[in-house]
């Protein structure tokens, strides 16, 4: 089946250039917002071989993947697989990719800072947010060493 297909060294899906030599699952996980598990679910639900080389995709398969990746919710995946459940503005489950994901994450952090929640305060002063220890790690600036006597 792959013998009569034209090999492409670079495939563009969802605004991301993907190396054609990568297997489809790993190629899709190059897109920001799509990990291995999501890529595997997409390929299996579309009936594609997850371990074929990305460069052997036909134009129709690329279009189908592009359409699905833009709106993963149409596949009917369980809500826990989405990266934005219960969106703050709409309350709906979404799956964001690329620059849209970065934009929404930055906006969430700005909202936390604005309402001065604990997480927002930690973000504002540049400390760790998720409960990690800060006694020895996460330090900025010059390191402080011990001066030895001559």
| CATH code of residue 17 | 1.10.8.50
What average pLDDT does the segment 113-142 reach? Answer: 89
What average pLDDT does the segment 79-97 reach? Answer: 89
User: Do 22 and 38 share a domain, yes or no?
Assistant: yes
Domains: count for the chain: 2
Q: Are 10 and 53 in contact (CB under 8 A)?
A: no
User: Do 68 and 99 share a domain, yes or no?
Assistant: no
Q: Residue 114: give the domain boundaries.
A: 81-125
Average pLDDT, the chain: 89
User: Do 66 and 88 share a domain, yes or no?
Assistant: no
pTM, two decimals, is 0.77
- Is residue 73, in this structure, part of any structural domain at all? yes
Give 130's DSSP letter: S
- Is residue 130, in this structure, part of any structural domain at all? no
Give the model's pLDDT for residue 3. Answer: 53
């Amino acid at each position: 089946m792959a013998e009569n297909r034209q090999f492409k060294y670079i495939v563009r899906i969802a605004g991301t250039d993907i190396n054609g030599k990568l297997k489809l699952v790993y190629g899709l996980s190059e897109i920001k917002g799509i990990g291995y598990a999501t890529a595997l679910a997409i390929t299996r639900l579309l009936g594609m071989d997850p371990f074929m080389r990305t460069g052997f995709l036909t134009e129709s398969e690329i279009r189908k993947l592009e359409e699905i990746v833009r709106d993963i919710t149409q596949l009917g995946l369980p809500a826990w697989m989405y990266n934005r459940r219960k969106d703050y503005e709409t309350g709906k489950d979404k799956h964001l990719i690329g620059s849209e994901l970065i934009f929404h994450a930055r906006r969430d952090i700005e909202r936390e800072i604005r309402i001065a929640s604990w997480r927002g305060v930690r973000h504002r002063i540049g400390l760790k947010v998720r409960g990690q220890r800060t006694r020895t790690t996460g330090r900025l600036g010059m390191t402080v060493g011990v001066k030895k006597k001559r």
